[in-house]
Structure 1
Amino acid sequence: MRAPEAARALALAAFLLAGVAFAAPALAPDETVIRATVPAGPGLFTSDKRIDVTMFKPKGEGPFPIVVISHGSPRSAADRRRGGRIRFEQQSRAFMAMGYAVVVPTRRGYGDSEGDWAEGYGTCSAPDYYAAGLESARDILAATDAARALPGLDGKRIVLVGQSAGAFGSVAAATKPVPGLVAVVNFAGGRGSQGPHDVCGEGYLVDTMARYGKGSQVPQLWLYSENDLFFGPSLARRMHAAFVGAGGKAQLVETPAWGTDGHMYFRNVSDWTPRVKAFLDSLPSAPR
């Protein structure tokens, strides 16, 4: 296998093994699918787009606080549609066990959701990560708004959780005045990875985290593995320092190596569950 093909295979594996399946199986008893509307905006989209949103809800009447889990983005454009409806079932069940209802949007340009991919950052020489993250945030917030209106869910207690590009978009979304948002959990958030240890314009990525930190609204937990081949420990520390230096509130945890690429650490549910639970339980809004 040639080097570019190997890099593509690694990227797709990271996307899939983090919790995405090629074709979603039949709905589980506690699983439903709703549609959220992403309003028309500048640029590519002049009409509203509907996206698929998977929801897992604990037994009982609730109201349950809400976790919104946002997926990453494979490097290859062809692979973005191959995931089908994104579910993160194993990870969702971990949050359900903590007392949360879980909402998993499949953003525009992925799976069967409407619209073309809108999260591009331009050229590698001068990437616009700030705008790209805010574009992801539009879909995340659309799903959040849809969930907030559902019976049995508590729209006053919302946590944004994301992996890779989805985490980056969640950090971006937290710069907006989101009603009920109480925290963000960032699993290996970032953009611009072209291959192992190869990120377009690392300085631009760090500077964007500083901009997001300046506008951040809530406390955050950041988890980056020591063998992450997308955004390694040194870059994670630089992004975190920029974020908190600009006024953001975030705890950085360097998690153990996971498999051949710690960028897939979100799959290591048994390791991160107690870390995340401790963080969420420290919040005044935690389930009691």
Structure 2
Amino acid sequence: MPASSIFIPSPEPNVRLKLFVARPPTDDPVPTIIFNHGSTGRGVNKAVYSRRWCPSHMQDYFTQRGWMVVFPQRRGRGGSEGVYGEGLAADGSGYSCQPDIALAGFERAVADIDAVMAHLKTRKDVDFGRIAIGGASRGGILSIAYAGMRPESLVGAVNFNGGWLGRACPSHETVNPLIFKRGAANKAPTIWLHGSYDQYYRIAHCRRNFDGFVAAGGKGTFNAAPMGHSLLFKPLLWRKHLDAFMQRLEA
């Protein structure tokens, strides 16, 4: 069944977020995962902002397991209202490498996920004891960090090729580990699925991010696959790992 779309209030007055929601065929409360999109490449092509993000194979993956999956489109993205502003440079040159600007963009994304969580708490079809979070690229790092920032709310986090700044920014070596470590406060399980040939994040950088997360107290498993940044779209490379992780959440 294709995902349906709804609008919910955003953190900004008179601005609504668009959500795509796919659920299994039952009226009972079900476990739910929020699955987050990434960036727009370099951040200079505004035509990309309007593209909706709700991959059908991920809808099927979760709903076939009995989970509802929610794909938030953050402000200014995918049909959501407002201006897209997750760390863009003021001169229009795309994403800024300045840590303060990048981190402000991250905090803006966190506020949008807070709005999604507030919406889920109003729904009778959500099992509030089993809400997880996941995503790809910026959505992956956002999910790991958010789970630690809101540790009482989430039972696990899924990270595909996560990172906030790519290696074109020298500051990615400080910004990405800093954000990931925010996730360590949640002792729930996490899974990190990375491509060994990712064009944005070298696998050694990703592994250091994971090791720093674990050293700070986080719990998780790290898996590398012979793929680039589009690993999410190659289920044969990750399905057995994610199956095992989901079984832990469902136990």
CA distance in 2, matches of 1:70, 1:165: 8
Residues 207 and 275 from structure 1, CA distance in 2 versus in 1: closer, same or farther, beyond 3 angstroms? closer
Residue 175 of structure 1 aligns to a residue whose secondary structure is helix
Q: Which runs of 5+ in 1 are unaligned?
A: 1-28, 41-46
2:50 paired residue number: 82
Q: Determine whether 1:267 maps to 2:200.
A: no
2:34 paired residue number: 68
Residue 282 of structure 1 aligns to a residue whose secondary structure is helix
1:107-143 Cα distance to aligned partner (Å, 9 max, x none): 1121221111231076425455444323212222322
1:182-220 Cα distance to aligned partner (Å, 9 max, x none): 000000110222xxx534313213441464144345321
Moved more, 119-128 or 102-111: 119-128
Residue 253 of structure 1 aligns to a residue whose secondary structure is strand
1:177 paired residue number: 150
How far 1:150 moved relative to its partner? 2.1
Residues 248 and 134 from structure 1, CA distance in 2 versus in 1: closer, same or farther, beyond 3 angstroms? farther
2:196 paired residue number: 226
Residues 202 and 50 from structure 1, CA distance in 2 versus in 1: closer, same or farther, beyond 3 angstroms? same
CA distance in 1, matches of 2:218, 2:88: 23
1:278 paired residue number: 244
2:92 paired residue number: none
Residue 156 of structure 2 aligns to a residue whose secondary structure is strand
Of the three residues 75, 96, 105, the one matched with 1:108 is 75
Moved more, 161-170 or 132-141: 132-141
Report the AA paired with residue 238 of structure 1.
Answer: R
Residue 174 of structure 1 aligns to a residue whose secondary structure is helix
TM-score norm. by structure 2 comes to 0.87
CA distance in 1, matches of 2:14, 2:222: 37
Report the AA paired with residue 17 of structure 2.
Answer: I
Q: Which runs of 5+ in 2 are unaligned?
A: 90-95
Q: How many residues align?
A: 243
TM-score norm. by structure 1 comes to 0.76
1:24 paired residue number: none
CA distance in 2, matches of 1:92, 1:153: 16
Q: Determine whether 1:33 maps to 2:2.
A: no
CA distance in 1, matches of 2:85, 2:39: 12
Of the three residues 160, 168, 185, the one matched with 1:198 is 168
Residues 182 and 249 from structure 1, CA distance in 2 versus in 1: closer, same or farther, beyond 3 angstroms? same
